[in-house]
Structure 1
């Protein structure tokens, strides 16, 4: 897991979020193969169909998503960080997060959609900060040192904090519902929030890959 997440982290420094996030979620299909091979679980026809669609969607994403390397410097992150699009996005995220947290904590509504939406809102901040941190480290190695800028440590703190609370809410969802239900839905929510975050913060655009995303989501749901 550590080796895989290290590779995933490094990939954000070279490619757009709209490409990396969906490909990182291919672990659902990998888990299905592992469960059949090592745990002797049965693969249903719908599972095979779902995995096929997920692979097809991923293939289309690789071909249609903006596969352009973007040099992420500290000044670039600072510029995006104070942009009006991101400020509006963060304000809306905070409002929605607080409303959902109120219903979850105060009203005792422990529906899976509420829990995984909380995870997805945190995930959008995670992917933004992961790409910023990874990009600044990459830029430091290939060009000019970026690790002395305060924005690097701000994004690092956001990355760590959002990851910790993601795990907390995801564990609560897993305790209340079956893993077979939580994992695919979480991947769909995570991928959606990651793509929106990439479009808003890094000005990425998915373009023709919207069709691929539809196929990918449909495949993930079937695997679930």
Structure 2
């Protein structure tokens, strides 16, 4: 009996040694501590860039309306405005930093820090666009900062998934599939039915589209980032078809967000003129 146990133990140790030599990391292995620092810095820089971009784009929209005598929310004169393009450039840089942050930390840290862009935009709008910030708005900004700090201090050191195959398995789960399908369906209804009817009266119509699609975009961007990081660790990812599905989905969702974010800014200007 003892001999049998000895042989079994030796076999298990041999298999474990082969597994370690293969270079495949253990599931949910702790990440290096500097990953969190780099991801945190990238997320903060992203929030700063995106926050400033909102102010620049809105300034460009206002200037274009005056220069080309356009009604707020109508026309494309802003495409000829240098301030609008500066804002768009900063937004692209911010999104790139945001994507890079997903390479180092999970969405549970990056997404909340995106709220910093709201705080930056609010402060700069009050300074440069002479917009008033109510008491409720100040409390909201304070809560954004406190919430982001608390989450940053308590973010887990282990990743939920390690490669694109794990993401494919989790996406195929009934819960996520149902939620994702519902989000897409509601977004289509809001964009193509409610938008034309109520989009000129309320900014929340197109804001809803940005928010819903943004939720899916976060998952897709993080999945793409995890796939890239797994590839750098020696785990083949670019031979997996699902990685390219995620890439296409990232492009579609980000373009959709940019389009409806611009429409939302135009609707804000329209609502203020009423």
TM tier, shorter chain?
0.5 to 0.7
TM-score, normalised relative to structure 2: 0.57
The question of whether the paired residues in 2 share the 8 Å contact of 1:16 and 1:67 is answered with: no
- Give the aligned partner of residue 108 of structure 1: 197
Indicate yes or no: 2:259 matched with 1:171. no
Deviations 1:173-213 (A, max 9, x none): 1111149x9xxxxxxxxxxxxxxxxxxxxxxxxxxxxxxxx
Q: Distance in 1 between matches of 2:134 and 2:266?
A: 27
Q: Taking structure 1 as reference, are residues 89 and 49 closer, same or farther at Cα in structure 2, changes over 3 Å only?
A: closer
**Structure 2: tracts of 5 or more residues without a match:** 1-89
Q: Distance in 2 between matches of 1:32 and 1:19?
A: 22
Question: What is the DSSP-based 3-state SS (H/G/I as helix, E as strand, rest coil) of the residue aligned with 2:229?
Answer: helix
The question of whether the paired residues in 2 share the 8 Å contact of 1:15 and 1:70 is answered with: no
The question of whether the paired residues in 1 share the 8 Å contact of 2:126 and 2:133 is answered with: no
Indicate yes or no: 2:253 matched with 1:162. yes
Question: What is the DSSP-based 3-state SS (H/G/I as helix, E as strand, rest coil) of the residue aligned with 2:198?
Answer: coil
Residue 21 of structure 1 deviates from its aligned partner by: 0.5
Map 1:116-131 to 2 at 5 A. Answer: 116-131=207-222
Deviations 1:80-102 (A, max 9, x none): 12111121112212332233234
State which of 76, 79, 89 in structure 1 corresponds to 2:166.
Answer: 76
- Give the aligned partner of residue 113 of structure 2: 23
Indicate yes or no: 2:146 matched with 1:56. yes
Q: Distance in 2 between matches of 1:14 and 1:71?
A: 13
Indicate yes or no: 2:245 matched with 1:134. no
State which of 219, 235, 242 in structure 2 corresponds to 1:151.
Answer: 242
Question: What is the DSSP-based 3-state SS (H/G/I as helix, E as strand, rest coil) of the residue aligned with 1:122?
Answer: helix
**Structure 1: tracts of 5 or more residues without a match:** 182-224
TM-score, normalised relative to structure 1: 0.68
The question of whether the paired residues in 2 share the 8 Å contact of 1:9 and 1:130 is answered with: yes
The question of whether the paired residues in 1 share the 8 Å contact of 2:161 and 2:167 is answered with: no
The question of whether the paired residues in 1 share the 8 Å contact of 2:164 and 2:224 is answered with: no
Between 122-131 and 95-104, report the one with greater CA deviation: 95-104
The question of whether the paired residues in 2 share the 8 Å contact of 1:72 and 1:132 is answered with: no
Q: Provide the alpha-carbon RMSD of the alignment.
A: 2.8
Q: How many residues align?
A: 179
Structure 1 or 2, whichever has the larger Rg, is: 2
Between 59-68 and 128-137, report the one with greater CA deviation: 59-68
Q: Taking structure 1 as reference, are residues 134 and 91 closer, same or farther at Cα in structure 2, changes over 3 Å only?
A: same
